[in-house]
Amino acid sequence: GDDGAAGGEWAGRRVVVTLGGTREPLDPVRYLGNRSSGKQGLAFARALTALGADVRVIAGSVEVELDQAIPTRRIATALELEAALAEEAPHADAVIMAAAVADFRPARVEGTKIKKRGETGAPVIELVRNPDIIAGLAERFPRGTGPKLVAFAAETGDSQGSPEDYAAAKLERKGVDAICLNDVAEGRAFGQDENRIVVLTADGGRFEAQGSKDEVARRVLEALGEALMAGSP
Ligand code: CTP
Ligand code: CA
C-alpha cells in the first residue's frame, strides 16, 4: 500500500479472513461440526484492521463475539464458504484462511429428523469429501496472479516427520504462498489464549512468533507483510 509508515505493507489492502468452523448438516436439527473457536482468525482480522487493511470476514460457527466494526458474512457449510470465497477472493489482495473446514460432509441431508426406529439399531452415516477450498483458490489463481493465499495448519509430529515437515508438505501440496503452523502437540491452540505459530513461505522463508493470540497475529502479519505484500502493486 501507499501508507507504508502507518500500517506497513497491509495499509489499504483488501484482506479476506475466514474463521470459525463449518457445520455440515445431517438433518434439519443436526450437524457435524468441530471445536474451532474463531479466536485466532478474529485476532488476525483485528490486527489487520489496526494495520489499516480493508478487512472482510467470512465466519463459520464461533465461540467468540465477532467484531461489529468489521464487515462480516456468515456461512455454515464448507460449500457455502467456498461460494463466498469465490465471490470475495477475486477482489482481495490476500486471503487468510483460518477457518476450520470439515474435510467430509454427510452424503445426504435428510429432509426430516432422523428417527431412532426400533430398539437397538443405529444408522450408518455416509460421508463424502468436501472440496479443498484454499487449494482450489490456488489453482484458480496461480502464484502471482491473484490474492496472496495464507493457510493454517495444526499438526502433530510422529515417527514420519515433525510438525514443520508436515506443514511444509501441506504448503507445497496446496500451492499457497504461506502456511501458519500451530503446534498442537501439547494441547495448545484450541480455544486457549497463549499460542505459538511457525510461518513457512513458498520461497523458503521461516519465522516464528509466540505470545497471546493478539501478539502472535501482529507479529505474524508484520512478517507476512514483508514476505508477501512488499513490492506487490
Ligand atoms: N482447508 C480448506 N479446505 C478444506 C480443508 C482445509 O481450505 N476442505 C484449509 C484450512 O482452512 C487451512 C488449511 O487448508 O487453512 C489446512 O487445513 P488442514 O485441515 O490442516 O489440511 P487438510 O488438507 O484438510 O489436511 P488434513 O488431512 O491434515 O486435515
Ligand atoms: Ca483437514
- pLDDT digits 0-9 by tens, 73-119: 999 999 999 999 999 999 999 999 999 999 999 999 999 999 988 88
In angstroms, the Cα distances linking 103 to 55, 77, 127, 197 are 26, 11, 10, 22
Could you give the CA distance from residue 123 to residue 131 in angstroms, rounded to a whole number? 25
C-alpha 157 – ligand 2 centre gap (Å): 16
What is the model's pLDDT at position 187?
54
Q: Model's pTM, two decimal places? A: 0.94
In angstroms, the Cα distances linking 49 to 6, 56, 175 are 12, 10, 26
Q: What are phi and psi of 95, to 5 degrees?
A: -120, 125
Could you give the CA distance from residue 134 to residue 126 in angstroms, rounded to a whole number? 24
CB 58 within 8 A of CB 16: yes
DSSP 8-state class, residue 192? -
Grid coordinates representing 18 are 475466514
> ipTM beyond 0.95?
yes
Residue 125 known to bind ligand: no
Environment of ion ligand 2 (residues, CB < 5 A):
103
Q: Is the pLDDT of residue 192 over 80?
A: no
Q: pLDDT tens digits for 5-58?
A: 456 999 999 999 999 999 999 999 999 999 999 999 999 999 999 999 999 999
pLDDT, mean of residues 161-189: 87
- Which residue has the CA at smallest separation from atom 24 of ligand 1? 103
Q: Is the pLDDT of residue 4 over 50?
A: no
Burial of 136 from C-beta contacts in 10 A (0-12 / 13-18 / 19+): middle
What is the model's pLDDT at position 6?
52
- Which residue has the CA at smallest separation from atom 9 of ligand 1? 134
Higher pLDDT, 193 or 153: 153
Within its chain, how far is the Cα of 177 from the centroid? Answer: 14
- 182 carries an active-site annotation: no
What is the model's pLDDT at position 220?
97
Residue 113 known to bind ligand: yes
